[in-house]
Amino acid sequence: MKYLIVHESSGRMRIRVHAGLTVVQADMLQYWLERKTGIKRAVVHERTGCAIVEYISPMTRGALIDLLRGFHFSQLSSGEIASIHSSRGINRHYEEILVMRILGKLLRRWLLPPALRAICTIFNSVPYIWRALKCLIHGRMQVELLDGISIGISLVRGDYSTAGSVGFLLGLGSLLEEWTHKKSVSDLAGSMALNIDRVWRVKDSVEELVALSDISANDEILVRVGGMIPTDGEIVRGEVMINQASLTGESVPVAKRPGTMVYAGTVVEEGECVIRVLHINGDSRYDKIVAMIESSEKLKSAAENRASNIADKLVPYSLAGSALVYLLTRNVMQALSVLMVDFSCALKLAMPLSVLSAIREMSQYHVTVKGGKYLEAIAQADTIIFDKTGTLTHACPKVADIVTFGGHDKDEMLRLAACLEEHFPHSMANAVVRAANEKNLLHEEMHSKVEYLVAHGISSIVDDERVIIGSYHFVFEDEKCTVWPQEIEKFNAIPARYSHLYMAIGSELAAVICIEDPLREEAASVLKSLKMLGLNHTVMLTGDSEQTAAAIAAEVGVDEFHAEVLPEDKASFVDQERAKGHTVIMLGDGINDAPALSAANVGIAISDGAAIAREIADITISADTLEELVTLRRISMALMQRIDHNYRFVIGFNGALIALGAFGVLPPATSAMLHNLSTLGVSLHSMTNVL
């Protein structure tokens, strides 16, 4: 790429591309720069053809120059181009409309004679007057009525200048509202979408690159190593390793062969495959994300609804105030100045923008929020209920200790247990085998045929002795094994908080393998932080035994716990807490948590949990730690503070404009201009991150 260095300082360079840039090229260049090691920040301006690049070590000035010199737009693959998302196109579109409207206003004022300007003003005023008439016809007291009356009165008085200025400013305000709203929604959708728009379709053994929108059900598409699967489907050819972390939370790639299902959003890590497409129309992950965003705007918080309702309820008072000012002053201009200011624009726009921005901000922390009302509930909540397994713990059993009896060696007992358990890939067996591997204990076949008894344990013959491993019931009650009398006290001292695997050799207890579901490292600190943020009632619900639950509860620091609970018990407990007047957050990951997630004010699911839990939940956390719970609470509280601040500012500032207009200090056009500028300022502030 050819370019000119316009300016540079330490760690910063401004360049101008000679050929200029289109919107697409600007997005491509910025995308490419931001992904290079050592580039701290890159901003590309397509109109001027300039790019500002800030760089840090290991990037050097010479390396940056060579990097830029070697770039060409053809370097980006179709997949990378498809993944680029920005609001640049929306900004460009509305910037052009804004400039054209302002230029049109100025040209009409400078070039047209007064008679033609009056005709243009009347023509442009028709939509406002028509909307006001519709409000009257349907008996609605809304802001459109104020706009139409103010413009209509100015036209009747022959004051075309005021009518034209008011109409122009109202149109400008509507344009800015539409612009900021579309940009917010676009930014949110872009942060969550798959961003795939082209795929390789295989037809009659011929591959062709086509738009995803051209793909139909039963079409076959090719996905190669490193590619993201764009839609749900069934593998028809090829064997691949699929990273399903985005869907199931599994950290290890899963083998997929012909006849197995694959899902949108997962990535091919090894191999390539041909997929027969299923459920293409409206069921792709992108479609669901867009639908979620649309529905999130319908799931308005009470604060949003309150702002919208107040805005409309204030309309009669604005009309009455304007009439009162006219009766007292007999000055039409002062009365119009009152009509020029309404509370609707800022209240109805700033509140939803604040919510959209907060939802977008949460997505940066890998948290998906399905509606503004859930953020408000998070901010107001005083009770949080945790499921234990998979939520406070990792849901990955781990060998915590091995207690041996009869003089046996710990490592030898672990080796023997792994030798038996490696044939049966359930979670506790996997924990034993994994512990042996971590200690580099080779557990080659040293037994005869292994017999597996469902829900009991395993038995085999090793060195002419019968070895069994399994539950207490299997080892002691079914098989009548015993503990040496001198080791009874040692046996009774085994911590009850663990799950136990009992292993006996020749009818004598040889070892007890203690298995735990390890607590998340951050769990205790997260609960402490949540309590500091006002969640003063923390509860843990689990199906585990009382002893295990008590140990975990003490370690993590919850205020209350309930053990051996069923799924319906969890939901009942949530209902009871809500009946007491608490606002309840429920955090879970399993199918058994689904009823409680649905019953809570806000249900939060861990992304590596069951699909039904993620579907029912109002919020999904995709991060590796629970720290995002603290961020979620902080953002929710900051959002409510921002909405409250916006509310006070809008009422105060516009109230002052009404007062100044009533006393004749501000003419109608100035009132309208200041009102729109304040609305723009509040809206722009609402679009920024709350943290």
Domain segments of the chain: what residues?
Answer: 3-83, 198-283, 307-358+639-686, 367-394+520-622, 398-516
Across 17-21, 205-209, 396-400, which has the greatest mean pLDDT? 205-209
* Spatial separation of the C-alpha atoms in residues 267 and 196, rounded to whole Å: 12
Of 235 and 245, more confident? 235
Kindly give, in sequence order, each residue whose CB lies less than 8 Å from that of residue 315, ignoring residues fewer than 6 positions away: 141, 142, 143, 145, 146, 342, 344
Topology, domain 198-283: 2.70.150
- C-alpha–C-alpha distance, residues 362 and 345, integer Å: 26
Give the pLDDT score at 251: 42
Of the pLDDT bands very low, low, confident and very high (cuts 50, 70, 90), residue 615 is low
pLDDT of 244 reads 66
**Residue 245 pLDDT > 90:** no
Handedness of CA 256, 257, 262, 265 (dihedral sign): positive
Higher pLDDT, 530 or 607: 530
Q: Which helix (H) or strand (E) holds 363?
A: helix 344-363
Task: Name the superfamily (CATH) of residues 398-516.
Answer: Calcium-transporting ATPase, cytoplasmic domain N (3.40.1110.10)
Structure confidence at residue 190 (pLDDT): 60
The model's pTM is 0.59
* pLDDT tier for residue 525 given thresholds of 50, 70 and 90: very high
Which two structure tokens, joined as six digits, stand for 500? 């136990």
Q: For residue 578, which of 385, 402, 439 has the smallest C-alpha distance?
A: 385
Q: Give the pLDDT confidence score for residue 573 in this predicted structure.
A: 93
Q: Please compute the mean of the pLDDT values over residues 399-419 and round it to a whole number.
A: 92
* Of the listed ranges 269-278, 515-524, 525-534, 604-613, the one predicted with least confidence: 604-613
With cut-offs at 50, 70 and 90, classify the pLDDT of residue 166: confident
N-terminal to C-terminal alpha carbon distance within the chain: 39
Q: Phi then psi for 512, rounded to 5 degrees?
A: -120, 120
What pLDDT is attached to residue 52? 94
Tokens of 115: 């008679």
Q: By mean pLDDT, which of 447-461, 577-591, 650-664 is the weakest?
A: 447-461
The pLDDT value recorded for residue 89 is 81
Question: Higher-confidence residue: 237 or 243?
Answer: 237
| Separation CA 82–CA 96 (nearest Å) | 25
Query: What is the per-residue burial (b if ≥16 Cβ within 10 Å, else e) of 11-25?
Result: eebbbbbeeebebeb
- pLDDT value for 250: 43
Q: Which residue is associated with the tokens 């399905």? A: 370
Question: What is the structure's pLDDT at 109?
Answer: 85
370-374, 531-535, 594-598 — most confident range? 531-535
- Rounded distance between C-alpha atoms, residue 438 and residue 512, angstroms: 19
Is the C-alpha dihedral spanning 622, 624, 630, 635 positive or negative?
A: negative
Q: What is the pLDDT of residue 265?
A: 74
Task: Give the pLDDT band (50/70/90) at residue 77.
Answer: low
Q: Quick one: average pLDDT of 388-402?
A: 83
Q: In what order do the strands lie in the sheet with 220-223?
A: 206-211, 198-203, 220-223, 273-277, 233-237, 261-262
| Cα–Cα distance for residue pair 174/21, rounded to 1 Å | 30
Res 665: pLDDT: 84
Q: Give yes or no for residue 422 having a pLDDT over 50.
A: yes
Report the distance separating Cα 447 and Cα 463, nearest Å: 7
Compute φ and ψ for 35, nearest 5 degrees. Answer: -100, 10
**In the block, which residue shows the tokens 């083998």?**
255
Phi/psi region, residue 664 (left: phi>0; alpha: psi -120 to 50; beta: rest), is left
- Residue 644 in tokens: 């409250």
Q: How confident is the model at residue 177 (pLDDT cuts 50, 70, 90)?
A: low
Say what the pLDDT of residue 398 is.
Answer: 86
From residue 627, give the alpha-carbon distance in Å to each of 103, 160, 520, 615, 617: 51, 60, 11, 22, 18
Q: Rounded to whole angstroms, how far apart are CA atoms 499 and 630?
A: 31
Minimum mean pLDDT range among 219-233, 341-355, 580-594: 341-355
Q: Is the pLDDT of residue 294 over 70?
A: no
Judged by average pLDDT, the poorest of 272-281, 297-306, 649-658 is 297-306
Any alpha helices (H) in 87-113, and if so which ranges? 88-111
Question: What average pLDDT does this structure show over 92-121?
Answer: 90
Choose the most confident range, by mean pLDDT, from 453-457, 589-593, 623-627: 623-627
Q: pLDDT category, 299, cuts 50, 70, 90?
A: very low
The secondary structure element, H or E, covering residue 312 is helix 302-313
Q: Take residue 70 and report the two structure tokens written for it.
A: 């070697």
pLDDT over 50 (residue 300): no
The burial class, CB within 10 Å (0-12 / 13-18 / 19+), for 275 is buried
Phi, psi of 462 (to 5 degrees): -130, 125
* Average pLDDT of span 247-271: 73
Q: What mean pLDDT, rounded, does the chain reach? A: 81
Q: How many residues does the chain have?
A: 691
Average pLDDT over residues 140-160: 78
What pLDDT was estimated at residue 138?
86
Q: Give the CA angle between residues 200, 204, 205 to the nearest 5°.
A: 60
Instruction: State the pLDDT at residue 344.
Output: 58
The one-character DSSP state at 591 is G
Res. 217 pLDDT band, cuts 50 70 90: confident
Strand order in the sheet with 3-9: 3-9, 12-17, 50-55, 39-45
> Which of 284-293, 388-397, 533-542 shows the lowest per-residue confidence on average (mean pLDDT)?
284-293
pLDDT digits (tens, 9 = 90+) for 430-477: 889 889 989 888 766 665 677 766 546 788 888 888 899 988 888 998
Indicate whether 306 pLDDT > 70.
Answer: no
pLDDT surpasses 70 at 496: yes
Of residues 352 and 404, more confidence is placed in: 404
Nearest one of 341, 369, 350, 342 to 303, comparing CA atoms: 350
Find the mean pLDDT for residues 489-516.
90
Structural contact between residues 22 and 46, judged by C-beta atoms closer than 8 angstroms:
yes
Element (H, E) at 489: helix 488-492
Q: How confident is the model at residue 326 (pLDDT cuts 50, 70, 90)?
A: confident
CATH topology of domain 3-83: Alpha-Beta Plaits (3.30.70)
The residue among 359, 443, 404 whose CA lies nearest residue 639 is 359
Place of tokens 């009896």: 405
Confidence of residue 37 (pLDDT cuts 50, 70, 90): confident
Q: How many CB atoms lie within 10 A of CB 425?
A: 9
Give the pLDDT score at 248. 43
| Phi-psi domain of 253 (left: phi exceeds 0; alpha: psi -120 through 50; beta: other) | beta
* Least confident segment among 167-171, 241-245, 637-641, 649-653: 241-245
User: Quick one: average pLDDT of 2-6?
Assistant: 89
Identify whether the C-beta of residue 613 lies closer than 8 Å to the C-beta of residue 626.
Answer: no
Q: Which pLDDT band, with edges at 50, 70 and 90, does 296 fall under? A: very low
The continuous run of DSSP H or E covering 311 comes out as helix 302-313
377 pLDDT higher than 70: yes
Average pLDDT value for residue range 27-55 = 89
Cα gap 605→597, rounded to integer Å? 8
Region class of 506: left (phi > 0), else alpha (psi between -120 and 50), else beta: left
Residues in CB range of 82: below 8 A, 6 or more apart: 195, 196, 197, 198
Q: What is the pLDDT of residue 191?
A: 54
Identify the CATH class of 367-394+520-622: alpha beta
Instruction: Enter the DSSP assignment of 479.
Output: S
Closest CA to 168 of 185, 151, 156, 186: 151
- Highest mean pLDDT: which range of 227-236, 369-378, 483-492: 483-492
In eight-state DSSP terms, residue 227 is P
